[in-house]
Structure 1
Amino acid sequence: MSAKYEPKTPITLAPPRDDPITLEELRSADGMSLNRGGQVLTHPQGIVFDVTGNKAYVPGGSYHVFAGKDASRGLAKSSVKPEDATAEWEDLGEDEKKVLDDWFTFFSKRYNIVGKVVKA
């Protein structure tokens, strides 16, 4: 795996969890009403990462649009437009899907995986 995604400072991550997280629970972790133990969550492709401590995801932060949402499309398109903070990514081109995969690798080296979104 490419070293370009390695954090500058080594990070010790907890073992990944596969706790089921509903869309409602995910929405409640938007940085405004932190109902999951103070976590701000985002998830590419259904995997939920705990991005607590990264000020980019709190209100006013550059990536707050992704907090409490499925960030897949926005990450793939390198877009922080609210309308792109959606789960729909399957229709994207191969280049955008590669970008999404790169984001997943980036996240997985920095943030704990705390669960997986379950559809109601």
Structure 2
Amino acid sequence: MLGYVAAALSLTAVLVLRTDLWSFLAEVPGLGAVLPETCGVQAGRLLTRDELSAYHGGPGSPGLYLAVLGQVFDVHEGSKHYGPGGSYSFFTARDASRAYVTGDFTDGGLVDDVSELSPSQMLHLNNWLSFYQKTYAAVGKLVGHFYDEDGNPTKALEDALAVIAVGLKLKEERHEENKQFPPCNSEFNSGVSRVWCSKNSGGIQRNWVGVPRKLHIVGYDGYRCVCVRTTGPPSENPDSEEHNDRGDLDNPSLKEYKDCNPLFDWCLLKE
């Protein structure tokens, strides 16, 4: 699997070659619903930060609004949670996109700056945005960080969507990797860890069991336990007629567990 840096460089190279950024992002699977022109945001309704701050749901307030990545939603139907005293009331009347991921609900954390969030964190934020799009009415756009005074996307929004695109790419690659190397089952009991493989380990159903191995990930120092096919051609060349009938056992990214029988479908970890 490509590391975050490699994926980011790959996407950056594509963006440099594509002058129509929004057309490119619209082609990324899973990202179309986030784009402002396809998510149902009313282009004619623009709110300033001061205007949005009045929509807190308290006495004299004209309503109950919040914003995520600059998109404003009417959440009055969820006033039990978002109204004054509600468990999510700190999200209302502002764009606190960063806090949805970090869990920092202080004034310093309830901000719209997402520039330092990782692709996986931005995917989590994207899930929140999708939730609001499906659950609440879109009101318009918040002028400032993500949209300019004419309602056009800013560079901050373009950068945020590009990171989400990287996250979606990594997620897709991890899904493909999991089909080749499904995660092991694992348990920890009385100070002893055990990993093992089955035809459904890691939630990946298949017609083979495999053996546990350490999969070292490019760009990272750690590893994860995966189940590896022991027969047939390697996954990289499934149609090959000339192979050692060892499946993926010879993949250079795999390492055996110390003191474990390399042909057993289970291993007691002593490391």
The one-letter code sitting in structure 2 at the alignment partner of 1:25 is E
Q: Which of the residues 97, 107, 116 maps onto 1:91?
A: 116
SS across alignment from 1:82:
coil
Q: Which of the residues 24, 31, 34 maps onto 2:61?
A: 34
Q: Which of the residues 63, 76, 81 maps onto 2:105?
A: 81
1:50 aligns with 2:74: yes
> What residue number does 1:65 align with?
90
Aligned 8 A contact 1:22 1:117 in 2: yes
Taking the aligned partners of 1:62 and 1:86, their CA distance within structure 2 comes to: 18
Taking the aligned partners of 1:110 and 1:80, their CA distance within structure 2 comes to: 24
The one-letter code sitting in structure 1 at the alignment partner of 2:128 is W
Q: TM-score, normalised by structure 2?
A: 0.36
Aligned 8 A contact 1:29 1:41 in 2: yes
Aligned 8 A contact 2:72 2:141 in 1: yes
Once the two structures are TM-superposed, the CA of residue 71 in structure 1 deviates from its matched residue by 2.1
Once the two structures are TM-superposed, the CA of residue 99 in structure 1 deviates from its matched residue by 0.6
Taking the aligned partners of 2:101 and 2:68, their CA distance within structure 1 comes to: 9
> What residue number does 2:136 align with?
111
SS across alignment from 1:62:
coil
Q: Structure 2 vs 1, CA of residues 80 and 42 (structure 1 numbering), >3 Å: closer, same or farther? A: farther
> What residue number does 2:46 align with?
20
Aligned 8 A contact 2:70 2:142 in 1: yes
The one-letter code sitting in structure 2 at the alignment partner of 1:42 is L
Once the two structures are TM-superposed, the CA of residue 93 in structure 1 deviates from its matched residue by 1.3
Taking the aligned partners of 1:82 and 1:40, their CA distance within structure 2 comes to: 20
Aligned 8 A contact 1:51 1:111 in 2: yes
Taking the aligned partners of 1:67 and 1:42, their CA distance within structure 2 comes to: 5
SS across alignment from 2:99:
helix
The one-letter code sitting in structure 2 at the alignment partner of 1:22 is T
Structure 1 segments, 4+ long, off by >4 Å, are none
Taking the aligned partners of 2:135 and 2:98, their CA distance within structure 1 comes to: 20
Aligned 8 A contact 1:76 1:89 in 2: no
In structure 2, stretches of 5+ residues that fail to align are 1-28, 31-39, 150-271
Once the two structures are TM-superposed, the CA of residue 98 in structure 1 deviates from its matched residue by 0.7
Q: Structure 2 vs 1, CA of residues 82 and 30 (structure 1 numbering), >3 Å: closer, same or farther? A: farther
Number of aligned positions between the proteins? 104
SS across alignment from 1:68:
coil
Once the two structures are TM-superposed, the CA of residue 105 in structure 1 deviates from its matched residue by 0.6
Identity of aligned pairs, percent?
30
In structure 1, stretches of 5+ residues that fail to align are 3-14
Q: TM-score, normalised by structure 1?
A: 0.78
